[in-house]
Structure 1
């Protein structure tokens, strides 16, 4: 098993964890472990990719019609041999 140290924990948060652990009859460490386990068990895998999420968010704003810019042909490479 791996151990972990949590630094700079707010005193109010630590107190709430201590109270919650006491209410459940556990140590603070056991309670923190259970909280982490429960939070990470609800892992969500988005079914959409980022582009779909962005498009959905801005869909209500309407689209933008951009002019079609004609493409140029392939340019002739510069000859540096001279």
Structure 2
């Protein structure tokens, strides 16, 4: 996993990070990871499964419809690509 070094962090910022980490019951390093992760994650991000389930609800698919789709779906494994 990659590492990041941040130089010249002001003392008051470093102290505030340590306090925040203690309030959340984790190390300063774990607190910084959490802050960075939350800063770069898109807000309101939906995962693929949730989006697919929403599409199914909008289309008013029933369990019977899903069984039919599963029965007619081609389950043959895809052939690997060749580059020759």
TM-score under structure 2 length normalisation: 0.49
1:19 and 2:19 are equivalent in the alignment? yes
TM-aligned CA deviation for residue 42 of structure 1? 3.1
Number of residue-to-residue matches in the alignment: 43
**CA distance in structure 2 between the partners assigned to 1:18 and 1:6 by the alignment:** 15
Cα deviations by residue, 1:24-76 (Å, 9 ceiling, x for unpaired): 01000000000000010137xxxxxxxxxxxxxxxxxxxxxxxxxxxxxxxxx
**CA distance in structure 2 between the partners assigned to 1:11 and 1:41 by the alignment:** 27
- Give structure 2 stretches of 5+ with no counterpart: 44-84
**CA distance in structure 1 between the partners assigned to 2:14 and 2:42 by the alignment:** 24
TM-score under structure 1 length normalisation: 0.50
- Higher Cα Rg: structure 1 or 2? 1
- Give structure 1 stretches of 5+ with no counterpart: 44-82
Instruction: Could you list the structure 1 runs, at least 4 aligned residues long, displaced by more than 3 angstroms after superposition.
Output: none
The structure carrying a bigger helix percent of its residues is 2
